[in-house]
Every structure is written in structure tokens, then in C-alpha cells.
Chains A and B, each alone.
Chain A
Amino acid sequence: MNRDWSELSPILWDSVRETLYIVGVTVGVGGVLGLALGVLLYATRRGNLLENVFVFTVLNVAVNVVRPIPFIIFITAVGPVTLAVVGTTIGNDAVIFAMSIMATFVTARIVEQNLVATDPGVIEAARAMGASRLRILVTVLVPEALAPLILGYTFLLIGIVDMSALAGYVGGGGLGNFAIVYGYQRFNWEVTLVTVLVIIGMVQLAQLLGNWLARKALHR
């Protein structure tokens, strides 16, 4: 047992709380905005409810441009925007801002890809009942794709936990920062290992919850 643990455990738990905060806000903001963007991306595609070549092309290109940028570069690249909106480019809030933008675009693609699998017959049935296009998007399309969407969001959540590890580089906190400051920089491999185990535990819990919810949503 490392003699530092009495001193380190409270910091570790603070870091867990910070990670949960950063990930929670990002999933909330990026998840909602990404859902809207993803539905729009799906609906404006040729042959779909809101077919619009211009809107689809703009959104599609935007998603393709933003998504592949390595996140650590993306944080600095959006720095001016972060400064204008958040007021600073360092700390948790600045990181959350950058992460939310990236999460929005990632989510948009995940949502779109899961909606493509929706049975077009169900959408046709809703149209035949006289439902408006907006109503169909909200009350048919999204609920029908709920199970794959839940799994998609679980995948997203894990990606965001991954992203949050970089918060430490721009003065943010969380488990990533903890592992770097108390593990890597102090050559304390044990601290790094414990951090990794905590992250694995969190991710496993999220995956189990996601799988369970998706199964419930299938109504078999």
C-alpha cells in the first residue's frame, strides 16, 4: 500500500466528481444538440421527410470536417470562440464548452446512422394518418429508434469520458488530470493503475446500464 493514499483518496474522489460533472454536462448539452442536428441530418437527406439538398450538404460537410479533428487540437483551435463565450480558455468550463461542440457533431452522426435503420413503412403509416412532418420526427422516428439510440449514446458517453481525460492539459480537473499530476509526473505507477481501474469501473457501469435500457426499449 502506497503511503500517500490517505492523502490521495480525497483528491481521487474529487476528481471522480469532477469527471462526472464534465461528462454529465457534455452529454447533456452535446446529446440534446446532437440529437436535433442528427434528426435534421437524417430528415433532409434525399427522399426523406424534410428533403433539402442545401441544408443536408452543409450539415454533412460540417460533421465530416469537425469529427476527425483530434480533440487536443480542437480545444486550442476553438480557443477564440471559447474565450468569447465562456470568458476564459482554461479550466473545466472552457473544456466543457469545447467538448460539447465536439460531442454535438459526433452525436449527430451517431443519431443519423441509427435513424437510417428505421422502417420507412412506419413513417408512411404515420403520414397516412395525417400526422405532420415535425410530429412524425418527434413522436415516431425518435421513439422507434430508441433502443439503438440508447446504445449509440452509451458509446458516445464512453468517448466523452475519453475526451475528458484531456481536460488537465488546459487547466481542468477530473480523473485524467489526477492520473497525470499524481501518477505520471510523480512516477507513481500505482496511482495511474488505480485511476485506470476507476475509469474502467465507471465505463462498465455505463455500458451495463445502456444495455439494460436498450433491452427495455425493445419491448420484446
Chain B
Amino acid sequence: MSILATKETHVVIQGGVAGVNAARRMGEFRHMIQQPFNVSAFVYPPDAGKTNEIVCGNRLLTIPVYKTIAEATANHPEINTSLVYVGADRAYAGTKEALDNSGIQVVSMITEGLPEKDSKLLGAHARKLGKVFNGPSSIGVLSAGECRLGVIGGAFDNLVACKLYRPGSFGVITKSGGLSNEIIWICSQFADGVTTAIGIGGDAYPGTDYVTYLEMFENDPQTKAVVIVGEMGGDLEERAAEWYGVKKRRVRLLAVVSGFCQESLPKGMKFGHAGAKEGLQGEGSARAKSEALKKAGALVPDTFGALGPAIKQTYEELVKSGEVTPIPELTEAEKPKLPRTVEQGMKDGDILVAPLIKSTISDDRGDEPLYEGYPASELINKGYDIPHIIGLLWDKRLVSKQEAEIIRRIIILSADHGPCVSGALTTIIGACAGIGLSQAVAAGLIMIGPRFGGAVTDAGRYFSYAVDNNLSVEEFLTYMKKNVGPVPGIGHRVKSLRNPDKRVKELVGYVKSLDLATPHLDFALEVEKITAAKKDNLILNVDGTMAAVLVDLGFPVDSLNGFFVLARTIGLIGHWADQKRQGSRLIRLFNYLVNYASPARREVPPLK
């Protein structure tokens, strides 16, 4: 048995992220006691219609989110308890909504900073309806072996350490959330543990008081003693003392009260929870409370540290009188455990997972990326540059200074080629249509193919074939004519022998000026001599030049198009940003630029 939160408790959580976190904690508790999850629904208007994922044991549950309490209870009529996590400015309305729902009997508010007036109104409203409004600022309610409302009890290991998988004999009521866990732990170490632990919140006027719960504990046969962890301020402890002293009670009462330090503080200085602020006429001092509780017959140790021994003494008396039978301890093996995650299992070394993908170039698991094993910051600090990173990630090697300079020049020369070419034009049309940078640039990149910028890889492939097989230019051209078609990397739409491509001249000039073996470039230039002699515009184009040079540098053939893609991305981003900056408007082709060659207007035949 227990009070307030029981085996029959079914919960709706009002709130967003904090509520979801609490539900996850509650899921851990349900796994510990081997019971199905007891949060039926969330109410959080911004997420209405969605679901929240909660782990309960080794299952991932999806719990629906509703806009209103009424919707939640209509769909989940078992709901009888609400946990309120919404912000202080909306908590009053949310709590009222829950209290006014006929199915809901208990509302516990975790929200802090609720205006005092709202708290009083909600408390009065709940009492009028014969319901319980617990909080505000409540850490939650936990009944060992039965139900957890909120995060009270902390992490899973702590739940187990405090033996919360089965009921003990001590009820706990505390204002302080942080101390709830401490007192649960003490009860489990000095006695047989708790039945129900309740955080009533540290506000000045909580919705319920100690007496509300003392009455409930008095009627719960499992609870043999109740521990109150009190604070100065207000009169809740005095009222508890009055309740305890007025007649013989079944439960034993233990209590501690904080705030004795106030007596030796400079006048007027107060601290602790809002409820701990002393009343204006000096009522509610720690000493007055402590005395009242002692007088009523409660066991009141002088310090918090002495509470453990006091609980132990009470427990031993209960055992001696036969009211409590000691519960055998579980062995380590019997204690509940959380299912391990795959990550944990791998870390512990007893699970082997077949990887889905393999990566051999970079590793993101540390505090910074490693490129081919080299930390990015170290590469920067030692003077490495973008071409070196390309070398590492595309060809798994650190390129030389000379190679880096060639790559740098290739990128500069291919970065852009004006607005009219296929890629840039497409990006510009996209920008004018209002689409975003990545989409517009990607549209431009899609144009890169056999006829625009995408011949680098193929040119490299065939020049390599020729050089590797010691083909003469004649043999090569014959082979190409027979098996492939036009030679990739040869030919230009507008450039010709008489109107040479300055980029090609520049690149060839630079590479030839170096002390570098360039068999592919040399072969390509020989090919050009023959083809250009046949037709003026069959010159070695920029794709072919890049291909030959990069193959000479040893880059894998399959990576070659990447140099153009990378370089031209710079230009495409520029074109998108340029249109954006100008505020360009939607464009469309003029009719007169289209040859409308479709059939003239005619009658549609009847459908057969």
C-alpha cells in the first residue's frame, strides 16, 4: 500500500521538454518494478498531434501529445493524475484545466515561481472539489514498488541503492526537493525504506500541507512512521504538531526543521526557499516549530545528521514490537538493472557489432576532426592549406608544396566562367525563382556532365589508357574513334587555335616550367596538334588540361571531376549571392526565343 501515487495511478503530463525528461525517468522506474508504463498522454499545445518517444525497459514507446486535458482524458479514460511542467505564467490555467476534469483526482505541480495568489486559488479550488493539488515547486511523489511521479529519486542506480523497487515502512514529506532523495536514502540505510515520499514544494503557501498527507499515511497500514523534513517560516510544522498531539496516532512521527542559523544571522537577513522567509511577526522560527513538534510527541533530532540514528531507533522499536518484519535483502544478481545500450555493451567489450559503413579518411569522434589521422588544428598551425586537405581526403596523402600550388591554380582558373554557361545560368534561374543557396547551387552542379565541365574524369581515363599502353597518337585516335567517339578533353564550343583558351595556356605554361615529369600532358598536347590540324576548334580544352596534369600528379582518375565541381561551386555560390543581393525577380524565357514546333490547335477527338 501507499498513498497519492499508487499502482492504479495513470498520468497525463502537461508540458514540453521538462515533462518528457520526467516521463523518461518514470519509464526507468516502471522498468525497475517490471510494470507497464503509466504515462498515458502529454498535453502541450505547441506539439499537439505529435508523439513523444519514451524508453521503458527495452522498449521504445510512443506517447501521444494532445492540445487539451479533455482530449487526453477522452482518449485515455484511465488518466487520474496530472503532472504540471508548464511555465509559471501558464501554470495556473493548465492546473485549473486538470482539476476541473472529472477523471483527474491528483494534480502535482513541478513548476517553480508560481505567483502566491495562483497557488492559493488552486489549493482552495482543489479542496472545494475534494481533490489534491500538490506543489508548486514539488520535486514529485514516489511510492516504492508502485509509482513515481516526476524525477524524485534521481538516477536509476540511486533508485536501486535506495531499494525503491519494494515498499518499506516509512512515509516521507519534505518541502525541499533536494533533500527528498537524501531522506529516502537514509530511510533505506537506517531502516527498511519508504512507502511513499512526497515533495510538497518549498513555497510559502503550498497547495497541500503536512496534515493532508499525515491523514493519508495514518490510514495506510503499510506506513508505520512518517518523517517530516521541515523549514522555518509559515505554520505547516506547527499544524502538523497540532495534528499529531491532538490524539493518539497510529503512525510514529519524526521531524527535523532547518533555520536555526537565522538566530545568529544579522537582523533581517533571511535565506532558503520562499516559504522559509520568516513571517512578519516572528512566527515560524525553527526553534518554535521544533519545540511544538517535540511537545506533540514527535521524535525531533537537533541536527539533520542525527536523523539517521533517530530513524534507526524507530525502526528497531517497530521490529521489536512486531509491527515490522525485516525484509530480506536482494543479492546483487537479483537487483533490477537497466537494459544496457549497444554503446555501453561495446564500451564494456562484450558486444560485437558488424559496422554498416567503413570510413578510411576522417574521424569525428574526438574533440576535433582528424583528416587521415591528422588533427585539423595541427594542420592549420603547421602551415598546411586547402590543397593539402584535398590531397588527404581525396587521395589519402599529403601532397608536396609544388603539387599544392598546381591544385591551387587549377581551382583559381576553374572557379567561374561567367553567367552564361550551363551551371551558372541554372543557378541564376534558381536564385531568381527564390530558391535557397544549397538548392540553387546544387541545381547548377547538376549541369556538370559530359558536355559541361564533367569531362575531366573521362579525359584522364583515356589519356592514362594511352600512356599506360604506350599508344601512339594515331593508335589512340583510332581506338577512340572505334570505341568511344569524340575524345573527352578535346574541343571547345567557342575557343579555337586562333582564339586560344588563356586558362589552358596559363596552366600548361606553369606546369611545363616546373621540374616535373608530365607524360600525360605531353601526350595530350600531341593529340591536340593532330586534332586541331583537322578542325580549328578541336583544341585541348580546360577539362583535358586539368585531367592530364592531375593524372600526372597521381590523383585517381575517379576523383578528377571533383576538382571542377569544387572549383565551380565557388562561382555558383557567388552567382546565387549576386542575384540575392540585387533582389532579382523571377525570370522566364521570352516566347520569341522558342521555336514552337508542336501541332497547331485542333479538336480533341471523343474519348474511346
Question: Are chains A and B native binding partners rather than an unrelated pairing?
Answer: no
**Chain A contacts to B: CB under 8 angstroms:** none
